[in-house]
Amino acid sequence: MSAEIIDGKQIATEIRSKLAEEIISLSSHGVPGLAVVLIGNNPASEVYVRMKKKACSDIGVNSYEYSFGEDYGEENLLKLIDELNNDSKINGILVQLPLPRGYDEKKVIEAISPLKDVDGFHPENLGRIVIGDRDCFQPCTPYGCQIMIKRTVKNLKGKHVVIVGRSNIVGKPLANMLVQKNDMANCIVTVCHSASEDISKFTLQADILVAAAGSPGLIKADMVKPGAVVIDVGTNRVDDPENPGKCKLVGDVDFEAVKEVAAAISPVPGGVGPMTITMLLENTVKAFRLHNDI
C-alpha cells in the first residue's frame, strides 16, 4: 500500500486563502507591507524574489522591492535596513540570501529589527524559540514542516521525531520547535547528521522522519520504519536524465521506494517548498498585527 502524499501545495493554498481573508478583515488598520531586498544577480535568488512578490500580491500584502547590484556595498545595505526598521509601512524585512561576496551575512541579519525579522533568522527570535516563547517569528521552512507534521499526525505527544541535518535554517530550529511542551509539538527529538557513522540506526526509530541534509536520495527505503511519516526538506538540483543538459529538483528521500514503506510522505517539488513562502506571508501578517497591536 502506497503512502498518503502530504500535499504541501494544497495546505499552502488553504492557509494563503485564510490569510487573504484575514487581511481584508484587518483593512481598517492598513495593509501589511513586506520589504524584499535583493543584492546582486544570482539567478536562483531572482526567481525566489519573484515568487515571494507574487505570493504577496496574491493575498493582498504590499511588497516593496529593493534591488541593487553587487557593488551596492554592506554599508549602504545596513543603512537601508535601518531605514526599513523605522518605516511604518514596512512590517517585515526579508534580505534574500545568499548575499554576494564581501557582505557579512551575520551582521546584515542582526541589523534587521527582531520585530520585523519575518524570516526568523535573528538570534533573538531563535532564542525565543529555544525557551518556547511563541511571541516571535519562527523560521519559515521549519515552521512549514511543523504545520505539515501536525496536519498529518494529530496527537504529537511523545512521538519520536528524527531530524537528519543540523542547518541553522532547518534542522536546529525545527528540533527546538518540536521539543516544546505545546500541542504543536511535545515530541522526543533526535538530531542526527554527518558525524554519525550510521544514521540509519536513528532514522529507523523515527515515528516522524525529517530529511534536511541537502543530499539527494540520502534516505532509502531500508532506513525508514514502516508506517513512519516522512517530510522531505531537500531541494537539490541534479542533472535530469530524461532531459539531457537540464536540471531537475529532487529531495533528500528516495521518494518512489520510500513511499512504499512510509504511511505518509511529502514530495519534492510540491511539499515543503510552497509551505516556506506561505509561512513568510503568515509571519508578515503576524508582524502587521503586532505593530498595530491587534
Q: Are strands 33-39 and 62-68 parallel, antiparallel or unpaired?
A: parallel
Nearer CB in complex with a copy of itself: 176/278: 176
The reply to whether 52 sits near a copy of itself by the rule CB under 8 A is no
117, 119, 207, 252: which one is catalytic? 119
Conformation bin of residue 30: beta by default, left when phi > 0, alpha when psi is -120 to 50: left
Pairwise CA distance, residues 137 & 116, whole Å: 9
Binding segment (CB under 8 A) for a copy of itself, from list 51-59, 75-83, 190-198, 236-244: 190-198
List the beta strands (DSSP E) in the chain: 4-5, 33-39, 62-68, 92-95, 160-164, 188-192, 208-211, 229-232, 236-239, 247-250, 264-265
Least CB distance to a copy of itself at residue 104 (A): 13
Q: Of 58 and 133, which CB lies nearer to a copy of itself in the complex structure?
A: 133
Q: If we measure between CA atoms, which residue out of 179, 146, 170 comes closest to residue 252? A: 170
53 is catalytic: no
Contacts with 8 (C-beta within 8 Å, 6 or more apart), sequence order: 144, 148, 266, 267, 270, 271, 272, 273, 274, 275
Kindly tell me which of 32 and 171 has the beta carbon lying closer to a copy of itself.
Answer: 171
Among 166, 220, 248, 289, binds a copy of itself (CB under 8 A): 166
State the cell numbers at 108.
546584515
Residue 176 or 266 with smaller CB distance to a copy of itself? 176
Q: How far is the CB of 136 from a copy of itself (least distance, A)?
A: 8
Beta strands 247-250 and 236-239, pairing class: antiparallel
At closest approach, how far in Å is the CB of 74 from a copy of itself?
Answer: 18
Tell me how far, at minimum, the Cβ of 60 lies from a copy of itself, in Å. 31
Give me the DSSP letters along 262-289. -SEE--SSSSHHHHHHHHHHHHHHHHHH
Closest CA to 210 of 158, 141, 154: 141
- 181 counts as binding a copy of itself under rule CB under 8 A: yes
> Considering beta carbons, is residue 6 or 177 the nearer one to a copy of itself?
177
Nearer to a copy of itself by Cβ, of 102 and 123: the residue is 123
The yes-or-no answer on residue 96 being catalytic is yes
Please give, one letter per residue, the 3-state secondary structure of 133-153.
CCCCCCCHHHHHHHHHHHHHC
Give the x-and-dash track for 130-159 against a copy of itself (CB under 8 A): xxxx-----------------------xx-
Question: Please, what is the minimum distance in Å from the beta carbon of residue 226 to a copy of itself?
Answer: 18
Burial call 165-202: b when 16+ CB within 10 Å, e when fewer: bbbebbbbbbbbbbebeeebbebebebbeeeeeebeeb
Shortest spacing between CB 38 and a copy of itself, in angstroms: 23
Assess whether 52 carries a catalytic annotation: yes
Interface pattern 91-130 for a copy of itself (x via CB under 8 A): ---------------x---------------xxxxxxxxx
Size of the site for a copy of itself (CB under 8 A): 36
Catalytic residues: 52, 96, 119
Q: Which residues bind a copy of itself (CB under 8 A)?
A: 106, 122-133, 157-158, 166, 168, 172-173, 175-176, 179-181, 186-193, 195-197, 202
